[in-house]
Structure 1
Amino acid sequence: MIILAKILVGLIALEHLYIMYMEMFAWETLGKKTFKGALPDALFGPTKSMAANQGVYNGFLAAGLLWSLLIEDPQWRIYIAQFFLACVVVAGVYGSLTASKKIFFVQALPAIIALLVVCFSA
């Protein structure tokens, strides 16, 4: 169960690295493809700096999750992973309520599953 927890935490971290990249460096290309229909094409240019700011936060989430994988003390590793996964869940739920329901399934649900696995691996 511990190995599965680490794999899931790693996958969630990779997802947030991808989101960070998209929001910070590829908002007008990859972002436009990802959010097709959710935002008019004309808004991607003017919202580029706002998206980049969001990307920084996603980068922090990824960094925290990756950090949790490097902690040797098993109890602290779990605490840190739980904290950052809970942050991802909150961000995903908020995003699904305010932006797109799809965010729940792409961001919050995988983090909820990973959080449950981490909790049961303790």
Structure 2
Amino acid sequence: MPTLAIVLIAIIAVLHLYICWFEMFAWESRGPKVFRSFPKGLFAQTKPMAANQGLYNAFLAAGLIWSLLIGDADWAGNVALFFLGCVTIAGVYGAATVSRSIAYVQTVPAVLAIAAVLFG
């Protein structure tokens, strides 16, 4: 894979590890600071749901990291494209249902990484 693709995939994987940590372990402490428009009482009630979402983000990160460890370039690219596609879809859905900023944080980097894998 091209160097740019590797760098973008690594950045996106780290981002999803951060999201995993945030949703699984810091939802009640950091959540109210990040999502200021949500009622504070909502965070304790939604902690199990957020932790579940965090686990899904860990799976995305694991898949992206896995793609960087595969020796065969074709397979590495295919695995990367699959997980980047998942990130893109999740980002589009999140932007449509939660906050448009998710498109900039999640979807745009994933689309750029897909382009780097395909055309790099």
- Bin for the TM-score computed over the shorter chain: over 0.9
Separation of aligned partners in 2, 1:70 and 1:47: 35
What amino acid maps onto 1:80 in structure 2? V
Separation of aligned partners in 1, 2:4 and 2:50: 32
Following superposition, the deviation at residue 35 of structure 1 comes to 1.6
Partner of 1:117: 116
SS of residue matched to 1:77: helix
Separation of aligned partners in 1, 2:33 and 2:73: 40
Separation of aligned partners in 2, 1:50 and 1:89: 21
Superposed CA deviations along residues 75-107 of structure 1, whole A, max 9, x for unmatched, are 000000000000000000000111111111111
| Structure 2: segments with no counterpart, 5+ residues | none
Separation of aligned partners in 2, 1:51 and 1:99: 13
2:93 maps to 1:94: yes
Partner of 1:32: 32
Partner of 2:21: 21
Superposed CA deviations along residues 25-47 of structure 1, whole A, max 9, x for unmatched, are 0001122222222x211100100
What amino acid maps onto 1:113 in structure 2? L
% identical equivalent positions: 55
Partner of 1:80: 79
Structure 1 vs Structure 2 CA RMSD: 1.0
Q: Which runs of 4+ in 1 moved over 3 A?
A: none
SS of residue matched to 1:72: coil
Q: Name the TM-score, length of structure 1 as normaliser.
A: 0.95
2:70 maps to 1:71: yes
Separation of aligned partners in 1, 2:105 and 2:81: 18
| Structure 1: segments with no counterpart, 5+ residues | none
Q: How many residues align?
A: 120
What amino acid maps onto 1:118 in structure 2? V
